[in-house]
Amino acid sequence: MKIGIDKIGFYTPHIYVDMEKLAEARNIEPAKFTIGIGQSQMAVAPITQDSVTLAANAALEIIDDEDREKIDFVIFGSESGIDHSKSGAVYVHQLLGLNPHARAIEVKQACYGATAGIQMAKGHIALNPDSKVLVLGTDIARYGLNTPGESTQGAGAVAMVISANPKIMVLENPNVYLTNDIMDFWRPIYSDKAFVDGKFSNEQYILFFNKVWEAFKAKSGLELKDMEAICYHLPYTKMGLKALRTVLDEATEDVQERLLENYQVSTLYNRNVGNIYTGSLYLSLLSLLENKDDLQEGNRIGMFSYGSGAVGEFFSGTLQPNFKQYLNIDGHRSLFNARKEVSIEEYEKIFEETLPTDGTDIELDINRDPASIVLSGIMDNKRQYVNKKR
């Protein structure tokens, strides 16, 4: 049975920071951010967006009535969860008006969560071929103002419907995965900002990529020449390039050229959004699919997922006939074009504006946020969500 990505949606908040201006404000050479890190703009989450609203907004654009009926499993991949107990999936399920006879869970392993969700979804569809699974990768990356990680923040979500006979990409076997207990990046329960050993995290990312790629080649018999492109988890757009460069000499010059060119296309959206953790790999896939004109049915895309701590996985997928027809290219162009730049002072103010953690109620001004689904406040320790379209 063919199982894979039937639909893919994306949402990022309506405001962003220009990376050159951020560099100037931090007394850093702008080229370090735009070339050395490879980021041009960084999405900023207003207080009315959290991991639930980002995910629900990403899903809203792809879900139709048939999906509402057939989705019987919602998997919320995130490391910015809003509750230690209740899953974000339950809120999204309600906000989208999905069939009550559904499972709804949250999956956590840093940026790897959505990949774990997709692989679980594959198993679920294999057992229940008529059903569909909604997989969400949704996060707000926060390291703190004036920290080395600041230039690699971001916010957004990718939503995917996984089904049999998918319209966009069939997920292939085999998959190769790897776990090793390391402290490259983590966020203790008491902190709303990540802790990170930056250089070590870069090294481990590359080491994980090399290990899973070697094992994948041995298990699948596939090589670089069999990949039209490789999409990477992109904490910042230079990172995947560093990993790709370590294996490029395995291929002929033509293949190297193709992979490098397609890599650039696969980073266009991420370059203007920043790290969205669980959704980053799938935003890179979306960037490739929506911005590369000559991709063909049957083209194979390699996928490298990395979640600090750490779990890595390499797998592949093949593009389906007329896949482009099922993408929301104009919708995503409009989403980017409608965004507004905020000054560094405004960004700092928004960054520091956090929700109360002492049980105090709060009512938020939802009119300043153009998103369809927003957080309107907290009452009696319960987050209040509004779907403006319902």
- Active site (catalytic) residues: 79, 111, 233
Residue span binding ligand HMG (CB under 6 A) among the ranges 13-21, 124-132, 201-209, 249-257 = 201-209
Verify binding: residue 185, ligand HMG, rule CB under 6 A: yes
Verify binding: residue 155, ligand HMG, rule CB under 6 A: no
Give the Å distances, CA to CA, from 57 to 77, 96, 231, 282.
15, 9, 24, 16
Verify binding: residue 277, ligand HMG, rule CB under 6 A: yes
Contact 309, 184 (CB under 8 A): yes
298 φ/ψ sector (left φ>0, alpha ψ -120 to 50, else beta): left
Give the count of residues interacting with ligand HMG (CB under 6 A). 31
Q: Which is nearer to ligand HMG, 32 or 349 (CB)?
A: 32
Q: Between 298 and 327, how does the x/- string for binding to ligand HMG read (CB under 6 A)?
A: --------xxx-------------------
* Interacting residues of 255 by C-beta distance below 8 A, sequence separation 6+: 224, 225
Residue selected from 198, 217, 326, 328 as contacting ligand HMG according to rule CB under 6 A: 198
Tell me the torsion sign for CA atoms 71, 105, 141, 163: negative
Residue selected from 77, 117, 149, 156 as contacting ligand HMG according to rule CB under 6 A: 149
Contact 308, 47 (CB under 8 A): no
Window 234-273: residues binding ligand HMG (CB under 6 A): 235-236, 238-239
CA nearest 163: which of 278, 283, 270, 62? 62
Residue selected from 196, 229, 295, 386 as contacting ligand HMG according to rule CB under 6 A: 196
Residue span binding ligand HMG (CB under 6 A) among the ranges 34-42, 127-135, 316-324, 337-345 = 34-42
Radius of gyration over every alpha carbon of the chain, rounded to an integer in angstroms: 20
Verify binding: residue 156, ligand HMG, rule CB under 6 A: no
Whether a cis peptide bond, with omega within 30° of 0, leads into 310 is: yes
Q: Which run of H or of E encompasses 161?
A: strand 154-164
Interface residues toward ligand HMG, by CB under 6 A: 29, 31-32, 35-37, 79, 110-111, 148-149, 151-152, 184-185, 196, 198-199, 201-202, 205, 233, 235-236, 238-239, 275, 277, 306-308
